[in-house]
Structure 1
């Protein structure tokens, strides 16, 4: 949906808010699915330490969902410097947090702390850079996002089809 929002000729405030809530809802759904699947992940890898790791990392889906429309809006306004600065700053902060956790004995939790802090920082930075806050969902004509949803599902289908592994020709 973010690609559709970036390419749209016009994007109303209601549509922008609704896209934020839709992306955040998708992130929330993926978070819940990951939480529910965490025991299957533990069984698949036969590694009980993955349960709390999966529980914590599941929330990156929610954070990334909330970040999506802010990134799309910055892209739409061609604020590439702000996007790049936010990405670089979030990755740098995540690296520092992960390194500090590792240095002070955090073990594998350092990687978890790195990912979570990076996602939180990116959300905060793009909200600041975007200079807008979403409103409540808009059910009126100003908030219609059906076109964006159709475009988004088409993109998901296209990416799923193109994500098949390439075969190496034999000699």
Structure 2
């Protein structure tokens, strides 16, 4: 028997936050060879290879002591990447203006998958300009099963711009 995601989150979230990161996603996959995937980032949206190594060391110490996963497993700590998953309501607001795919836990008007340009959030709803629709759709965040950014030229350009900006600020504040 293996640990539940909720139990792993309860165990690891305080460590992740103490180290100065935000948890984006935690997954445990595989049957014979399990992989514990921790996707995190700094509050400013960055995550370097050094950050991944630092967080991996901190989490490994807790996992070794608590031993919540039976059998062997691989720990994988990573950044969300360019075509990142959108797991929190604030992600939909932060990436306003970029194309995303959203999958719902239940169909709305007979459809579970949507693609369009994020238009922010309104209360607990995600606003999205759907391809081929005139009005902005409001999707309750509570029925979103998953969402992710779509790799576009605009997203790549923005990611490069942010990386350059972050590199400049890190050089100024070592």
TM-score of the aligned structures, taking structure 1 as reference length: 0.30
Relative to total residues, which structure has the larger strand share, 1 or 2? 2
Higher RCO structure, 1 or 2 (CA under 8 Å, sep 6+) = 1
